[in-house]
Structure 1
Amino acid sequence: MSRIRAFTMPKWGIEMTEGTIAEWMVKEGETFKRGQTLCLIETAKITNEVEAEYEATVRRIIVGGGAGEEPVGALLAVFDEGSHSDAEIDAFVADFKPAEGGIAQGAGKGGAEKTKAPEPAPAAAAAPAPEKQRIKIDTNRPISPEALRLAEEEGVDIAGIEGSGRGGRITHQDVVKALRGTSAPSLKGTVPVEADDLKVLASPLARRIAALHGLSLQGLTGTGPRGRISKADVLALVPAPKASPGTIGTPEFVAGENRPEVVPFDRVRKVVAQRLTQAKQELPHFYLRMSASADALIAMRKTANVVLGSKASVNDWIVKASAMALAKHPDVNVQVHGQEIHRFPHADVSIAVASPKGLVTPVVRQANLMRIDQIAVETRRLIDKAQAGKLSMDDMDGGTFSVSNLGMFGIENFDAIINPPQGAILAVGAALRQPVETDDGDVAFETRISFTLSVDHRAIDGAAGAQFLQTLKGLIEAPEDLFG
């Protein structure tokens, strides 16, 4: 029996509350088959392709591509398995109600329209201040909009202004300096000294300062040897100078405008900010730090890449070592759900990736059972999907531990924030050449990597975290054990 079907905003994961139609892959009136891609839906961190589960015809698209966020359960389109009339489709849309308890109940576009609080009437605008008459300036020279506005208002000829901005661009400060003009010194020749002052015992500099300021040395008591009048004696009588535009000295600095570029949070940044703030405030973090020699691992990596024909990075080896250490220490390989601790026999390692949508953490599943070349292929696949914005919920869900590496940026060490419900995250620093004491007491250089383990103290004790790091260090410094 043919029927009319509602296509609503799906719910992927317990934390999803809304999504956006990024693009429709079918059009109104088009018939699609089972397995055909219907649309792309963006959530806070992923873009998923939605495939048809049956064959039907698109009769009505309620929410267009890029139309904004819609709550879970909102009506997005209407599909027809038969040949119903337009009136029946209209009636279906008008009568549509989201599933009982759905987020979009009473708020979807297919049902009741979203209601907004009435906007208050705008207050009466104050009378604008009269604008200065502007003289239009036509020029091909690079000049900032504010500088051009000021030059037109003040009638400044910009032909004689030398721009101080990039590529000779005239800035607002350049125009302000042109308005002040230049001050030239007025040379008057030698300073006349009163004949009576020549009879007074004073230093030449004291005489000159007194003549410049019109001061008489008669009657002035000197503090120098034999009552000689010094520079300090005369300066004590000189009044404090008053600033004037014509004063010769350090030029006045005029600060230009410093307007910020306002960038609102996108959906991913909102979710990341909310989750990280919640994690930092609610989880009792503590931190364990350790460094390990990486020379043997770096040498092993070069050999293994040739033998296996892979392109495994140092981070891939750290993921492998972390996964094997987690398998030996299941007390660290945990998730925390309310009052319960979930311990896992295998390590599903989340790797922190910077994507165009913000920080994402796709999961390398059961990494402790994978070979290093398999880990390299899987991490490359996940990184490529993240950078293309095509990670699915299956790629993101269910990690038991996270690795965040900023070493490629030269960061020596840092403290990472735990990614709930996981119980720990490993922060990896840069590989640096450092001096160390050898067994015979000499000093030699070796490559060392610093690790900081952020731990949720509700689920993991300090001793358990320390034992995990000790095992990790052993695997890093003896990488042949990673093939065991």
Structure 2
Amino acid sequence: MSRLLNTSFLPSSTCRTRSCSSSAPHFRGNKPRVVTVRAKIREIFMPALSSTMTEGKIVSWVKSEGDKLSKGESVVVVESDKADMDVETFYDGYLAAIMVEEGGVAPVGSAIALLAETEEEIADARAKASLGGGGTSPVSQAPPVVEDTVSSVPPLKAVSSASASASAVHPASEGGKRVVASPYAKKLAKELKVELAALVGSGPMGRIVAKDVEAAVAAAPPPPVQKEPSVELGSVVPFTTMQAAVSRNMAESLSVPTFRVGYTINTDALDALYKKIKSKGVTMTALLAKATALALAKHPVVNSSCRDGNSFVYNSSINIAVAVAIDGGLITPVLQNADKVDIYSLSRKWKELVDKARAKQLQPQEYNTGTFTLSNLGMFGVDRFDAILPPGTGAIMAVGASQPTVVATKDGRIGMKNQMQVNVTADHRVIYGADLAQFLQTLASIIEDPKDLTF
């Protein structure tokens, strides 16, 4: 849901004289009546889009100065510490003055624009805006050099053939509605990404043949090479809004006394289940989140949280936050009530959350309601690592890659099993070693016999 802009009145007044109409009854001693009209000029504040947001960056103004606004209409896009969000207005009126330009940063609660109730008040609002600015303006930079990049070979333009007659039309083309080409020409065009409809055939009656496709490819300019983004060594780069939020959270985590427990889990059965149901849209992330949620349901203290250092809360919901790396930072979309949602719905929800996270369109409740966090680097081949506890939660589990391992079986033989290492970091004020050990035993039993994951 889009957020609504906070506004407040800036009092100003104008005096308007209303004379009596000639048709109205006239009384002795009547004087022109002076009516004071209170102008409704409102400050538009930088909203708080999350509990950790202290400032916001103006990504873009949807409306321009002087535009008429209706209640509930999007006015500006703000970058919070987690996502880009459309912000709406509470009131009808006119966007009188923009006080923080695109790219500028303003503290939460500071004025970023002025809203006038009527067109007559726009000039007054602009005069007020000129007396004091909003946030910081973006750093001026040299105009960027824009380089066109092509992700795929574009359809090629028509290449005329000297031997082809422009008036030659194949009878099977139905007056040019169909493309008539040899089977090999069609196959070649598909492989080389050539648009047949743009070619003039040199075959009988204008039929497109293989040499027409080859000629089109030879005549087309090569696509520009996409350059890797360069980093200027030795340069100082300020944090983005998201990076600044991550920095604050990591520093806050240092104040929490934590400890770590590791566990090795056999994944043969989980791997087999994943292979069986992968075609139905199930993801490994959803399977791990589901298994973790079912284990947390049996060990609620691991799903608890301590915020004030004097008490802790047994959270009523099991919401699994999963760390996702995105351009310029890290975010943790949340699979809410993961213990109660079936694996197929959970997988669909996870795909939706990842798409929204990468587009920076997550809503606050989709990233700040986690009660337990998963961080998985197994897809990069990392076999084990430790994770830092996010503020306000009781535990986070780091998941490594599942790898074939030589193990001793119960009957004393040597065998091969797929195993993964998980390491849990927990708040020692609330969760103790025995709590984590029992939780990990339960998690291992669920993963090694995953029949309950597909209920």
TM over 0.5: yes
Q: Deviations over 1:341-387 (max 9, x none)?
A: 11113211111010113011121111111111111112111211222
| Letter of the 2:383 counterpart | E
| Letter of the 1:21 counterpart | I
Change (3 A) 1:401 1:443: same
Distance, in Å, in 1 between the alignment partners of 2:96 and 2:248 is 39
CA shift, 1:443, in A, is 1.4
Confirm or deny: 8 A CA contact 2:96 2:123 kept in the other structure.
no
Partner of 1:293: 266
> Of the candidates 118, 126, 133, which is equivalent to residue 82 of structure 1?
118
Partner of 1:317: 287
The DSSP-based 3-state class of the residue aligned with 1:331 is: helix
Distance, in Å, in 2 between the alignment partners of 1:86 and 1:344 is 50
Distance, in Å, in 2 between the alignment partners of 1:443 and 1:426 is 30
> Of the candidates 376, 382, 401, which is equivalent to residue 347 of structure 2?
376
CA shift, 1:397, in A, is 1.4
Distance, in Å, in 2 between the alignment partners of 1:56 and 1:259 is 49
Confirm or deny: 8 A CA contact 2:97 2:129 kept in the other structure.
no
> Of the candidates 42, 48, 54, which is equivalent to residue 5 of structure 1?
42
> Of the candidates 396, 417, 423, which is equivalent to residue 452 of structure 1?
423
Distance, in Å, in 2 between the alignment partners of 1:357 and 1:34 is 34
> Of the candidates 385, 388, 401, which is equivalent to residue 417 of structure 1?
388
The DSSP-based 3-state class of the residue aligned with 1:430 is: coil
Distance, in Å, in 2 between the alignment partners of 1:348 and 1:467 is 20
CA shift, 1:282, in A, is 1.3
Confirm or deny: 8 A CA contact 2:290 2:453 kept in the other structure.
yes
Confirm or deny: 8 A CA contact 1:350 1:400 kept in the other structure.
yes
CA shift, 1:479, in A, is 0.6
Identity of aligned residues (%): 35
Distance, in Å, in 1 between the alignment partners of 2:116 and 2:123 is 13
> Of the candidates 75, 78, 81, which is equivalent to residue 41 of structure 1?
78
CA shift, 1:94, in A, is 6.9
CA shift, 1:320, in A, is 0.6
Partner of 2:324: 353
**Alignment pair present for 1:328 and 2:328:** no
The DSSP-based 3-state class of the residue aligned with 2:44 is: strand
- Bigger Cα displacement from structure 2, 428-437 vs 2-11: 2-11
**Alignment pair present for 1:275 and 2:249:** yes
When Rg is computed on C-alpha atoms for both structures, the one with the higher figure is 1
> Of the candidates 412, 417, 438, which is equivalent to residue 467 of structure 1?
438
The DSSP-based 3-state class of the residue aligned with 1:368 is: coil
| Letter of the 2:262 counterpart | R
Q: How does 1:18-37 map to 2 (within 5 A)?
A: 18-37=55-74
Distance, in Å, in 2 between the alignment partners of 1:90 and 1:51 is 21
CA shift, 1:35, in A, is 3.0
CA shift, 1:437, in A, is 1.9
CA shift, 1:426, in A, is 0.4
The DSSP-based 3-state class of the residue aligned with 2:288 is: helix
Distance, in Å, in 2 between the alignment partners of 1:31 and 1:333 is 49
Q: Deviations over 1:253-304 (max 9, x none)?
A: xxxxx9635434333223212321331x211111111111111111112223
Confirm or deny: 8 A CA contact 1:74 1:109 kept in the other structure.
no
Distance, in Å, in 2 between the alignment partners of 1:300 and 1:47 is 37
CA shift, 1:31, in A, is 1.5
**Alignment pair present for 1:14 and 2:51:** yes
CA-atom RMSD, angstroms?
2.2
**Alignment pair present for 1:62 and 2:99:** yes
Partner of 2:33: none
CA shift, 1:6, in A, is 1.7
CA shift, 1:430, in A, is 0.4
Partner of 1:143: none
Distance, in Å, in 2 between the alignment partners of 1:85 and 1:264 is 39
Q: Deviations over 1:51-104 (max 9, x none)?
A: 23333221211111112x111121111122333334432465478xxxxxxxxx
Change (3 A) 1:367 1:55: same
Q: Deviations over 1:404-447 (max 9, x none)?
A: 00001111001100001001000000010001222332212111
Distance, in Å, in 1 between the alignment partners of 2:127 and 2:238 is 39
Q: How does 1:13-412 map to 2 (within 5 A)?
A: 13-67=50-104, 69-90=105-126, 92-93=128-129, 109-110=133-134, 260-279=234-253, 281-306=254-279, 309-310=280-281, 312-338=282-308, 339-412=310-383
| Letter of the 1:267 counterpart | T
Distance, in Å, in 2 between the alignment partners of 1:87 and 1:287 is 62
Change (3 A) 1:13 1:45: closer
The aligned length equals 322
Q: Deviations over 1:91-126 (max 9, x none)?
A: 65478xxxxxxxxxxxx725xx98xxxxxxxxxxxx
The DSSP-based 3-state class of the residue aligned with 1:292 is: strand
CA shift, 1:27, in A, is 0.9
Q: Deviations over 1:149-176 (max 9, x none)?
A: xxxxxxxxxxxxxxxxxxxxxxxxxxxx
The DSSP-based 3-state class of the residue aligned with 2:286 is: helix
The DSSP-based 3-state class of the residue aligned with 2:96 is: strand
Distance, in Å, in 2 between the alignment partners of 1:420 and 1:399 is 11
**TM-score, normalised to structure 1's length?**
0.63
| Letter of the 1:287 counterpart | R
Distance, in Å, in 1 between the alignment partners of 2:233 and 2:81 is 30
Q: Deviations over 1:230-258 (max 9, x none)?
A: xxxxxxxxxxxxxxxxxxxxxxxxxxxx9
Partner of 1:171: none
CA shift, 1:2, in A, is 7.5
- Bigger Cα displacement from structure 2, 48-57 vs 378-387: 48-57
Change (3 A) 1:94 1:340: farther
| Letter of the 1:19 counterpart | G
| Letter of the 2:73 counterpart | Q
**Alignment pair present for 1:439 and 2:410:** yes
